A and B are shown apart, each in its own frame.
Chain A
C-alpha cells in the first residue's frame, strides 16, 4: 500500500494501464490513508463508498485508453459536483447539493477519473491559510500546526500528505501557487480562459482560474491536458489551440531567456527566499538559459489593485446567497430581516470584510477613485508584462515572500495575510499562466517554491522550463507521517 501512495500520477496510470494495479487497489489505498489522516481536516465531504463502487466498475469494464483510467482524485470544494454536497467552505452553502457538474471536473470523470471527495478550502476561496473555512482550518503535513496556505489549502495538504495522487484547485490571487509553495508541491495557474469557470463557485470572475496541483511537473502537464478545453458555457473561455502538454514535455531549455524582475525584491524579504531565488537563477544558467534583468514598474500597485477588483466582483457574485433559493436560511420577520439574518450568520468574517470593501469601492462617489483606478492599474500591470515579454520568454520570481506560518499567526492582521499574495496577484491581474515548483526549504524544513510566469497561452514553455529545473533539483518533502492515526 505504501508503494501505491508514493507513486506519482503518471506512474500510477502506467501501472493501471499495464494492469499491475487495479483501480480498486489504488482507491482503497487512498481511502485507507484518508481515514487515518482525519486530523489534517482536508476533507469537507467524502464520497468513498461511491468511489469504491466506481473503481470496481472500472476494473470490470473500464476504458484503459483514458488519460486518467480509474484514478481516484479528490477536488477542491469549490467545484460543483452533481449530487454531492458543494460548500465552498461556507456555512451558507453547507447544505447545498448541486444537480450539475462543473465543466472542469466533468473532464476528469470523462477521462476515467473517480471522485474521492471534496477538499477543504478558505470560505469562497477568500484566504491565504485555509483558516477562513466554516469547516475548520486545515493542517499542513509539513509541520504540526502549520497552515497549508490557501485558499486551496485542503487540496495542497491532501496532495502533500498523499491522500490523493493529484488534485485541482482554483487560483484568483495565488490560491493554487501559494499553497503549492507552502506544501512542497507543484501548482499551475493556467492562462485566464484556458479552463472553463462553468460550475465553479465564483469568487472574482475576471480573475478565477482552475488549475492542477500535482506531485511533479509531468503530472501537472497531464492534468492540464485533461482540464484545459474550450467551453461555450463560459463566455470568457478562449478557443485557442491547446498543446499536447504531457507528450510534448521537453527538458531542453537552452537559449531560453528568463527575466528577473527587480521589483520583486521586496523589503523585509527573508534571506532564505532571496538565496532560493538566486539558486533558481544559477540553475537556469546551468541549464543553458539566458538570465535577463527586467523591470515591471507597476508591481507595487498590484496588491492594492487586486484588493479592490477582487472584492468588488465578489460583493456582486455573492449577492445570490440570500436564503431565498438554496443554501442556508435564517428566518426573519420580513424579507429584509431574513436577508440580514441569513447573510450575517451564513458568511464568515473574511467574506463579510471583502463584501463590504467591494460594496464600498463600487459605490457612487467612490467608483472612479477605487474601482476605475484599479482597472487602470490592472492595464498598466498587463502592459509591464507585455513590454517584458518583448525580451524574455518567462519570468522567475519567488512564489511567496515567506514560508508557511503557524495557524493563528496572521488571523488578526488581514493586511499581513494579504501580503502573502504579493508575488502571485500580478499574474491574475494580467491573466497570465504561472507555475510554482518546490525548490528548497527554510530553516524549519518547510518547503519553499519558485514561480515561473509565462506568456499568455504558452503553458508548454512554462512546463518545459519547470520540468528541466525539477529534474536537476530532485526536491523531496520527506514527510514523517506524524498525523497518521
Chain B
C-alpha cells in the first residue's frame, strides 16, 4: 500500500498505526437452535420459541443439531480454513438473568474450525486477512429493561440460537478495511447460505479489538475490546474514537489499560465496561452432557461438494471469461443475487452494455428506492431485451433511458413500451434526409457560419434534427447525412 493512503493517527511528530482484530458473531442460518428443536424466526412474540432445553428446566439435556454443524463446516471451507475433525463443547459459566442454564455452551480450546483467510479487494490490490478460528456457541436470551419501570423482562427466543464466532487475526489497519472485511465475510456467508448477515436483526455483530503503535514498531500495543457493535458504521466510528483516545493517552505519557469497553452510539464514544482485573472467571470445562464432536472425512468431503462458486472464484471467472475489469467484477460478485441477475441478463445480451446498465442505471434505481436486487422492478429478462433493442438500433441509448424509467414504474416489457409510446428509432435514411434538408433550409445563417469554419455548430444541427424527431432519429444516420449535406 502506498504510504499516503495509510490510515494513521497523528499527534505532533508521532504517527500511530491502528491494529484491529474482529470477533464476529454470525447467527447460523438454521430453522432450529443449536441444541434444541425450537424455531429461530426473528421478531416472534417474546418467549414463544422456547423449549424446555432452552429455558434450562431440570433434567433437560442438549442434543447437537447436525445441520448447524454442517453450516459451520461449510463456512470454514468458505474461509479457506482447516476443519478440525475433533472439537469439544465447553461450558462458559456465569450468572445472568437471560442465561437460563447459568452457562453458555461454547467451544473454548478445541473449536470446530481452525486457521483460514479472507481476501480483501483494496483500491491498489488484494490483502489477505488471517482467520484465527471459528467456533460454535449458543446465544443468550434478551434482557429488556425499558418496558416495565420496576422489573427487567427476559425474552428467551434467542436463547440457544446457534452462533458462529469468527475470530480474525489482528491484520486490519483501518476503519475502511474493517468495512471491506465485514462485507466480504458477509458476502461469503450469503453465498454459502450459512448466515443471512442481517445486521439490523442482529444476525451479525462484532467485538472489535483495537490497539495502536508508533509506525515502524513491531510490538503490538495493549488492546481494548469494544463489545457487541452491530453495524459497520458504528464499528468504524468506534475504531476512530478508540484509536484517537489511545493516541491521546500515549502522547500524554500515559499507558493503555487492557479493558472491555462499550460504544455509546448516541454520544459517539467508547467507555469502560470492566477492566482486566474485573474480568469474569468463566470456569470453562468440557460440557459433560455432550461427547466430543467427531467429524468423518466423508462428512467433510460431502460438504465440500456442496460449496458453490464463491466471490473470489466468480470474480476471476468474470474477468477471464467476460473481460470485465476487476473493479466491475468486484461490484457484480459482492452480492450473490446481483451476480445471478447479471448472468441472467448476459445469457442473451451484450456483456459490456449489461455491465454498464446494471452498475449504472439499475444500481442507481435500487439505491434510490432502497431495494435489494431481488426486489428489482425491472426483471433480468426485460433488461436483457432493452439492451438488445439498443444493440440492434431499435432505440438509441438516450431513448433507452426513457424506456428504462417507464419500466421502473410500470414493470412492463420494453418492446410494448416502445410500441405504445412510439419511441422506435427513425432509421430510414430518406426520411432523415428530408428532415436534415428542412433544418438546413430553416437556418441559413448558421449554415453560413458553419461553412466559414465554426465547426462547433454541428451539434446545433444535430440537436435541431433530434428535436424534430422527438429524439428518435438514429444518431449515426443523422451525423452521416448532416456531414454530407453541410460539406
Contact = CB atoms under 8 A, between A and B. Distances in A.
Interface stretch (A133-141, A272-280, A311-319, A418-426): A311-319
Nearest to B62: A235
B265 to A, nearest CB: 25
A232 interface: yes
Nearest to A86: B58
A99 B52 CA distance: 9
A202 B58 contact: yes
Interface stretch (B90-98, B206-214, B224-232, B248-256): B90-98
Given A316-B102, A316-B103, A322-B95, A367 B58 contact: no
Interface residues of A, number: 42
A465 to B, nearest CB: 30
A86 B62 CA distance: 21
A367 B102 CA distance: 19
A2 interface: no
B59 A367 contact: no
Interface residues of B, number: 29
Contact of A362 (B56, B283, B291): B283
Interface in B188-231: none
B288 A319 contact: no
Given A197-B61, A235-B61, A319 B55 contact: no
A204 interface: yes
B42 to A, nearest CB: 23
B154 interface: yes
B289 to A, nearest CB: 5
B285 A371 contact: yes
A194 B152 CA distance: 42
A359 B283 contact: yes
Interface of B: 52, 55-64, 91, 93, 95, 97, 100-103, 152, 154, 281, 283-285, 288-291
Contacts of B288: 204-206, 236, 313
Interface string A277-313: 0000000000000000000000000000000000011
7 contacts: A202-B289, A235-B62, A236-B289, A316-B91, A318-B102, A319-B101, A362-B284
B154 A324 contact: yes
Nearest to B91: A316
A325 B100 contact: yes
Given A204-B288, A313-B288, A320-B101, A235 B63 contact: yes
B95 A339 contact: yes
Contact of A320 (B100, B283, B290): B100
Contact of A319 (B62, B63, B102, B289): B102
A254 interface: no
Q: Which of B97, B100, B102, B283 has the most CB atoms of chain A within a 10 A radius of its CB?
A: B283
A320 B59 contact: no
A236 B59 contact: no
B285 A312 contact: yes
Contacts of B281: 363-364
Contacts of B154: 324
A348 interface: no
A239 to B, nearest CB: 12
Q: Which of B100, B152, B281, B288 has the most CB atoms of chain A within a 10 A radius of its CB?
A: B288
B100 A201 contact: no
A197 B61 CA distance: 8
Given A198-B61, A325-B56, A363 B283 contact: yes
B97 A198 contact: no
Interface majority SS on B: helix, strand, loop or mixed?
loop
A96 interface: yes
A248 to B, nearest CB: 29
Interface string A93-126: 1001011101000000000000000000000000
A364 B154 CA distance: 30
The 7 closest A-B pairs by CB, nearest first: A319-B102, A206-B288, A205-B288, A362-B283, A199-B59, A320-B56, A201-B58
Contacts of B64: 235
Contact of A367 (B52, B63, B103, B285): B285
B88 to A, nearest CB: 12
A326 B154 CA distance: 13
A36 interface: no
B103 to A, nearest CB: 6
A409 B9 CA distance: 73
Contacts of B285: 312, 316, 362, 367, 371
Interface string A319-335: 11010111000000001
Contacts of A88: 58
Nearest to B285: A362
A80 B289 contact: no
B157 to A, nearest CB: 14
B102 A320 contact: yes
Interface in A384-429: none
B14 to A, nearest CB: 37
A206 B61 CA distance: 12
A319 B59 contact: no
A204 to B, nearest CB: 7
Contacts of A204: 288
A80 B58 contact: yes
Nearest to A360: B283
B55 to A, nearest CB: 6
Contacts of A316: 91, 93, 102-103, 283, 285
Contacts of B152: 335
B284 to A, nearest CB: 8
A373 interface: no
Contacts of A202: 58-59, 289
Nearest to A334: B152
A93 B63 contact: no
Contacts of B284: 362
B96 to A, nearest CB: 8
Contacts of B59: 80, 98, 102, 197-202
A199 B103 CA distance: 19
